[in-house]
């Protein structure tokens, strides 16, 4: 029988930002199907998810893909966390998503910074002082500009080999800052793939004695923060052909600023300042092609006769994509649409 390595991955209970945890289960002749991955358990008292006297938490597999970075046969198993009674744990953001029919499509733009633990700075930053100002690093090519590419390229190949729907990568505005984009039809699936991609990135960086900094403002001063822009649509937005409908959906977000910011990532006030292509954290705005707005209406949506998608630019790089998607879906469904829409 073929011995298969199943890497069970879950989110811990640390606050304000959850971390990834994982452990390996060896099984015989695994099919690769999520329904054939057994439920497992872990010590929740070691992950801030249970008291020591009743420490068992359950792992419910929800997404499986090949693990291309291991010898032999391996799979990555993304899991929801359940309490010992089998109910969604309070830290389980995936269970809050109201998208049973996968009507919502999400494309997340995940920014991150490759971090040098020896200097405690982004990779490429000098030991003393700073590199030259922003400008040449975005989508850059060449020595001294595109720093850390070996990690980025290896990560991309692993994601593609795992079957993740990565739609692109690029160097970002700050030196050592990069981005990958993942799209999925179904909010939960989009979150699953972002978390698996984050896991693969962390594991790849280990090989190079580097770490991944998910903080939304890793370097203070005149440097861009890191976001996880959420591009989203549902059947309504993809087919309505109505500016009035788009206005109504966007306007539904304005009275819900706090409920969104609460789940859009820790320390986001350091990033959402109104500078560096952001709107202020306590304000809401939307506009066509406006990267300084809370929500951008892409020009392609207008060109296609108001049939397309929206981009919420506020989620931080350290946000939980499950919670981001859950909040967006709830708000879109609350929109007061014009008569006949």
Same fold across 3-96 and 105-334: no
Reported as a pLDDT band with limits 50, 70 and 90, residue 135 is: very high
228 closest CA partner among 274, 275, 154, 177:
177
The CATH number of the structural domain formed by 105-334 is 3.30.590.10
- Give residue-wise pLDDT tens across range 237-255: 999 999 999 999 999 999 9
Ramachandran angles phi, psi of 99, nearest 5°: -150, 55
Where exactly are the structural domains of the chain? 3-96, 105-334
- Give the closest residue to 65 by CA, choosing from 157, 161, 199: 161
Question: The domain at 3-96 falls in which architecture?
Answer: Roll (3.10)
- Residue pair 112/230 in contact (Cβ under 8 Å)? The answer is no
The answer to whether the predicted template modeling score (pTM) of the entire model surpasses 0.95 is yes
User: Which residues have a Cβ under 8 Å from the Cβ of 266 and sit 6 or more positions away?
Assistant: 16, 17, 216, 316, 318
pLDDT in tens, 39-77: 999 999 999 999 998 899 999 999 999 999 999 999 999
Write out pLDDT tens, residues 14-29. Answer: 999 999 999 999 999 9
């Amino acid at each position: 029988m073929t011995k298969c390595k199943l890497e069970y991955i879950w989110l811990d209970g640390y606050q304000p930002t959850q971390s990834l945890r994982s452990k390996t289960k060896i099984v015989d002749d695994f099919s690769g199907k999520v329904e054939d991955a057994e439920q497992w358990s872990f010590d929740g008292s070691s992950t801030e998810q249970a008291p020591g006297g009743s420490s068992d938490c359950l792992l419910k597999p929800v997404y499986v893909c090949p693990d291309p970075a291991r010898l032999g046969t391996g799979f990555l198993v993304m899991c929801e966390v359940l309490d010992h009674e089998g109910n969604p744990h309070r830290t389980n953001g995936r269970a809050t998503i109201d998208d049973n029919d996968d009507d919502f499509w999400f494309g997340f733009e995940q920014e991150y910074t490759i971090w040098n633990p020896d200097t405690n700075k982004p990779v490429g930053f000098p030991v003393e002082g700073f590199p030259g100002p922003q400008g040449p690093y975005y989508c850059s090519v060449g020595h001294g500009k595109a720093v850390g590419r070996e990690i980025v390229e290896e990560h991309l190949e692993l994601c593609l080999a795992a079957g993740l729907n990565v739609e692109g990568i690029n160097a970002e505005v700050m030196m050592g800052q990069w981005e990958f984009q993942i799209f999925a039809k179904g909010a939960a699936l989009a979150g699953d793939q972002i978390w698996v991609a984050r896991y693969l990135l962390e594991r790849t960086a280990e090989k190079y004695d580097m770490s991944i900094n998910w903080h939304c403002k890793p370097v203070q001063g005149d440097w861009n923060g890191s976001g996880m822009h959420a591009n989203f649509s549902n059947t309504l937005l993809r087919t309505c052909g109505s500016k009035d409908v788009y206005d109504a959906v966007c306007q539904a977000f304005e009275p819900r600023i706090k409920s969104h910011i609460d789940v859009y990532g820790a320390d986001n006030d350091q990033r959402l300042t109104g500078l560096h292509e952001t709107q202020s954290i306590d304000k809401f705005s939307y506009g066509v092609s406006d990267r300084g707005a809370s929500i951008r209406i892409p020009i392609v949506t207008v060109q296609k006769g108001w049939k397309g998608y929206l981009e919420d630019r506020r989620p931080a790089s350290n946000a939980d994509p499950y919670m981001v998607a859950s909040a967006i879906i709830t708000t879109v469904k609350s929109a007061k649409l014009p008569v006949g829409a």
